[in-house]
Amino acid sequence: MDKVILDGKQVADKVKGSLASRVEALKEAGVTPCLATILVGDDPSSETYVRMKGNACKRIGIESKRIHLSKETSTEELLEVIDELNQNDGVHGILLQHPVPAQIDERAAFERIAIEKDVDGVTSLGFGQTAFGFGKYPSCTPAAIMRIIDEYKIELEGKHAVVIGRSPILGKPVSALLLNRDATVTICHSRTQNLPGIVKQADIVVAAVGKPNFVQGDWIKEGAVILDAGYNKGNIGDVDYEACYEPAGAITPVPGGVGPVTISMLLKHTVDAAELTL
Ligand code: NAP
């Protein structure tokens, strides 16, 4: 079989294309889908991510309500802002940009987001529902990885998927989604022993480590599918693309892989949430 470059931009364009008519229909029904983004502090990368998400909303007719709070914001103040957005019928999705400054209890803030507006899948209820197989909005990056798998008709049943990373927004939920689709899932983390040996057994590798070029070419089984969720400084993934390209059967590039699909899933979840208010 020919090697496949899993083109996230193409998948994202397809997802966004399918949203245009749904946004139009919502507007005809008097509802403008709206995503509220909350940025706390002035971390430049977070500012860029929030701006990109807001601009992506606008391009397809979703309203973007941007809330920028000072870096001195307390947990209580942030919870109040989230409460207001929860009660605002004009807001359909709420995204709190991670990370927040250290004085804030980030988990408490995530938990405060109403489940029907948790379009980024950050609440424990949303995670639980995803794990049980009936969640409406899984975290956007895990949802993006599954979308790429489906668009390219990558078989999961009975396959060995190795996920490197166990964070609440990425490693854990993507593992649950893969398991729900009958993959045999191994979750690796910083204490895992013999990581290269485990990755070598994988039919599907999901890299969600947060370390540039971490996954090495000689860890990869011939023909394995590699999904690189990593997005490190300088547009560098968690997978050493040059080295892994050769053995891989299919691989996502960085940039242009999981990242653009993640944003398109956020838009899709916001439209889904708006439709549920009709
Ligand atoms: P995170 O919260 O820092 O989690 C990283 C995970 O990697 C942890 O579970 C950690 O294990 C594990 N890990 C660290 N060092 C390891 C090692 N040497 N061997 C094996 N596992 C190791 O990161 P995250 O938020 O999940 O993000 C992961 C990556 O995805 C980052 O590059 C981030 O930029 C990217 N990301 C991309 C998108 C997108 O839209 N494309 C969205 C979100 C995140 P422990 O649990 O043991 O510490």
For the purposes of burial, counting CB atoms within 10 Å of the CB of 31, is it exposed (0-12), middle (13-18) or buried (19 or more)?
Answer: middle
pLDDT at position 1, please? Answer: 65
pLDDT at 2: 84
pLDDT at 109: 98
**What would the two tokens of residue 69 be?**
């709070």
The CB of 56 under 6 Å from ligand 1? The reply is no
Q: Which CATH architecture has domain 139-258?
A: 3-Layer(aba) Sandwich (3.40)
Evaluate whether 120 touches 137 at the Cβ level (below 8 Å). yes
List where CATH 3.40.50.10860 sits in the chain.
30-114
Supply the residue whose CA is at minimum distance from atom 2 of ligand 1.
167
CB 190 within 8 A of CB 235: no
Q: Whose C-alpha lies nearest to ligand 1, atom 19?
A: 190
Residue 165 known to bind ligand: yes
Prediction pTM value: 0.97
- Does domain 30-114 sit in CATH 3.40.50.10860? yes
pLDDT of residue 140: 97
Q: Is the CB of 165 under 6 A from ligand 1?
A: yes
Q: At what angle do helices 44-59 and 258-275 cross, to 10 degrees?
A: 60
List, by residue range, all CATH 3.40.50.720 domains of the chain. 139-258
Task: Give me the catalytic one of 7, 118, 120, 238.
Answer: 120
CB of 96 shorter than 6 A to ligand 1: no
- Residue 168, pLDDT score: 95
Of ligand 1's atoms, which has the minimum distance to the CA of residue 259?
41
Q: Say which of 16, 97, 228, 272 is annotated catalytic.
A: 97
Q: Quick one: pLDDT at residue 48?
A: 92
Instruction: Please write the tens of the pLDDT for every residue from 146-160.
Output: 999 999 999 999 999
Residues in the chain where the model's pLDDT stays below 50: none
38 lines ligand 1 (CB under 6 A): no
DSSP state at residue 254: S
pLDDT by residue (tens digit) across 95-139? 999 999 999 999 999 999 999 999 999 999 999 999 999 999 999
* 228 within ligand 1 shell (Cβ under 6 A): no
- Catalytic, 120? Answer yes
